[in-house]
Amino acid sequence: MKKIIFDLDDTLYKDKSLRGEREKAIIKALKGKTKKYRELRKTCSTIESLEKLGVSRKEFYEIMGKVPIKLKKDKELREFITELESKYKLVVLTNSPSWCAKKILTQLGILNLIDKIYGGDCFKEAKPSEECFFMVNKGDICVGNNFKKDLSVPQKKGAVTVLISEEDSADSDFNIRNIYELSRVIEAIETLQ
């Protein structure tokens, strides 16, 4: 059975409030390195930026642990994921810690539909480290909101890459604006097979 490997934040769900609270907690923890952090974020992931400023992934996870997660069950998302789950093995691969991913998926009401969860704490390095994508096989579908972090390695491994973004990218195989547009991508893939 083919897999769909999803990034979590800003891919399976979007919550500006949670993102904002996490960003505030990071800024507070940086104590005066905010300008440098914002500059680094233009070209690096959150974790890469923090590591360059001397904040370890463990410290990042501690910062994240202090930010309450308050998401509502998403009936539409649950119905959509249920449809996918009948045809594909579903995997979540995130740089967030596993406990955080499970909490988010539980609150969204889809934890029981996900076959496997890999958090950043499962690996020595964060995405886009190749070790994070060990489960990706040729023909799997990888969905993320950042090409470099979520899709570049899977594309090299022969996966179909789907970028969720307001801006199109020539790098990914498909570009969509939200998770629900994945249906048309799957239809196109199935038509080609």
- List, as own/partner pairs, every contact residues 38-43 make where C-beta atoms lie below 8 angstroms and the sequence separation is at least 24, other chains included: none
Give the angle 167-39-55 at the CA atoms, nearest 5°.
110
The confidence score (pLDDT) of residue 129 equals 94
The confidence score (pLDDT) of residue 193 equals 65
For residue range 89-135, list pLDDT tens digits in order. 999 999 999 999 999 999 999 999 999 999 999 999 999 999 999 99
pLDDT above 90 coverage of the chain, percent: 90
- Is the omega angle on the peptide bond into residue 97 within 30 degrees of 0, that is, cis? no
Q: Is the pLDDT of residue 1 over 90?
A: no
Q: What is the CA radius of gyration of the chain?
A: 16
The whole-model pTM stands at 0.93
Q: What is the mean pLDDT of the chain?
A: 95
Domain residue spans in the chain? Answer: 3-13+71-192, 16-65
Fold of 3-13+71-192: Rossmann fold (3.40.50)
pLDDT band at 192 (very low <50, low <70, confident <90, very high): confident
For residue range 43-81, list pLDDT tens digits in order. 888 989 999 999 999 999 999 999 999 999 999 999 999
How far apart are the C-alpha atoms of 77 and 18, rounded to whole Å?
Answer: 18
Count of other CB atoms within 10 angstroms of residue 158: 11
The confidence score (pLDDT) of residue 124 equals 93
The confidence score (pLDDT) of residue 132 equals 97
